[in-house]
Amino acid sequence: MGPSSISFVQPGGNMKREKVFIPWMLFSFIAFSVSMAEGLEAGRQAPFFRVKSGGGKLMTLDSTRGKITVIFYETRDVLEQNRKLRNELNQSYRELGDTQKTYIVRLPIINCCDARWPFTALWRKKLREGSRKSGVIIYGDWDGTMLSAYGMKEGESNVVIIDKKGIIRYFKSGRIEDDETGKIKNLIEHLLLE
């Protein structure tokens, strides 16, 4: 690719154009890698996702439009990392009125990329059992497309909150500290009022 012209604003408001040689392929790759390594930022449009439960129920970003979506994206080995937060949010959900509940989608997702035939039936069975125990349908990211589209961190609990318009309002990988739990609850309450 050829040189690119970039404008710089100098003190006093004067614009200066300089020819800068940027290897665009390298720049694009680095920018994409950094954004995916960090996960998506709050304020961005949520990428499309498509996940399926152990019973075959499909959930997509489009099916959550008009609702607040609270996602816990995890692998089986890190389910305990944010269990306290998940329990507190589930308790808050149970305390809501029936009308308010219709505006919230609780979406636990397990990274099922490692599920290979003939073990996929066992994975589906485990998802169905987990769904029965928790009272919430647990979905699987069977091909890893959500993992890569959202920049989820493997081996970590990933928490994502998407507003009614499909905008990411919260994204964090790893253990959520107790002092942040109240902020997350307040965010969800605020989004219910929007």
List, for residues 19-53, the tens digit of each pLDDT value.
Answer: 434 433 333 333 333 333 356 788 899 999 999 99
Mean pLDDT of 113-135: 90
Residues 82-100 have pLDDT tens digits of 999 999 999 999 999 999 9
Name the band, by pLDDT with cuts 50, 70 and 90, for residue 15.
very low
- CATH 3.40.30.10 domain locations along the chain: 41-193
Question: How would residue 6 be classed by pLDDT, with cut points 50, 70 and 90?
Answer: very low
The verdict on pTM exceeding 0.85 is: no
pLDDT at 11 over 70: no
Considering the domain 41-193, what is its CATH architecture?
Answer: 3-Layer(aba) Sandwich (3.40)
Three-state DSSP string of the chain = CCCEEEEEECCCCCEEEEEECCCHHHHHHHHHHHHHHHCCCCCCECCCCEEEECCCCEEECHHHCCCEEEEEEECHHHCCCCHHHHHHHHHHHHHCCHHHHCCEEEEEEEECCCCCCCCHHHHHHHHHHHHHHHCCCCEEECCCHHHHHHCCCCCCCEEEEECCCCEEEEEEECCCCHHHHHHHHHHHHHHHHC
- What φ, ψ does residue 69 adopt, rounded to 5°? -110, 120
